[in-house]
Amino acid sequence: MGTVTSDGTTIDAGRPSIARVYDYLLGGKDNYAVDREVGDVFKRDLPGSVAIAFANRSALTRAIAEIATTTDVTQFVDLGSGLPTADNVHQVAQRHVPESRVVYVDIDPQVLVHGRALLEENDRTRVIAADVRDPDAVYHHPDTRALIDFDRPVAVVFSAILHHVNDEEDPGGIVRYWIDRVPSGSYFFVSHFRSGDNPETAEAEAVLQQTFGRGRWRTDEEIARLLDGLEILDPGVVPAPLWRPATVDTPWSDGAKRELTVWEHLIAAGLARKR
Ligand code: SAM
């Protein structure tokens, strides 16, 4: 079942999509019945799914605000950017540094359609359809080349995307590709499903693999290894709500001034810098 949009993009409303299920968990409206069905399985069987989604989004916006306010980096490549939601990367970055440039990348056709309408707000933002497992396609894309100057430091954002890349697809190799193409002083943000070595993690991985054929919960060590060769900044790779909770307040943040639930331990965040 496919819906063809005005720009010729085909959206399959008959099969769940990672982007739309995530949108549903964040309370968005860009999803179909088939996505809500999967989202409801997560909510019923994994009642922390919503907390994981919000904890992830909150850490992402804190990290972007940190990069915008504490470094000279004004260029962002957001890989697996997702559907537009509250406080997207360019809004956070441009709020602090208006000349910031952002290239959003996603494989989901709906992200492209909604993204072009909502994320390409100005001539400093672009949304491109590409597969992060084919980094050459992203790097050489004309919109990337038009917006990003790879002779200057870049922030490469891997927010809740590398856990959708299976081991045999070499997620570490994807990160290395970008490390090799950006100059020293560049930043890498990663958030990732975090293995708790507990039934919740195993169950969550099984649901994702059954639904999408992908979804890996990795340990802190495995996630840190994806950043091999980079300097991982304080406080390291940690549960997302504990990643610099108090530095910047965002609409998503509760400051983590309480005991974390078991679920909130299941998403990790980290920021690294190329020396
Ligand atoms: N980065 C956003 C965030 O952290 O809030 C969205 C994360 S969402 C869980 C994962 C996104 O990655 C979805 O929009 C999905 O379409 C996209 N995605 C999954 N596999 C991809 C691939 N191989 N290439 C590009 N995008 C992909």
Per-residue pLDDT of the chain (275 residues; tens, 9 = 90+): 456 565 666 788 889 999 999 999 999 999 999 999 999 988 988 888 899 999 999 999 999 999 999 999 999 999 999 999 989 999 999 999 999 999 999 999 999 999 998 888 899 999 999 999 999 999 999 999 999 999 999 999 999 999 999 999 999 999 999 999 999 999 999 999 999 778 878 888 888 898 899 999 999 999 999 999 999 999 999 999 999 986 545 544 555 566 788 888 899 999 999 99
Strand 10-12, strand 2-4: pairing: antiparallel
CA atoms of 166 and 181, how far apart (whole Å): 23
Centroid of ligand 1 to alpha carbon of 157 (angstroms): 11
Q: Is the separation of the CB atoms in 150 and 182 below 8 Å?
A: yes
Check: CB of residue 165 under 8 Å from CB of residue 27.
no
231 alpha carbon to ligand 1 midpoint, in Å?
Answer: 25
User: HSE of 28 in the Cβ direction (CA atoms, 13 Å)?
Assistant: 23
pLDDT of residue 28: 94
- Tokens 């850490």 appear where? 59
pTM: 0.94
Going along the chain from its start, the domains and CATH numbers come out as 2-273 (3.40.50.150)
Which of 161, 208, 250 best tests ligand 1's pocket when mutated (most atoms within 8 Å of CB)? 161
Which residue has its alpha carbon closest to ligand 1 atom 18? 80
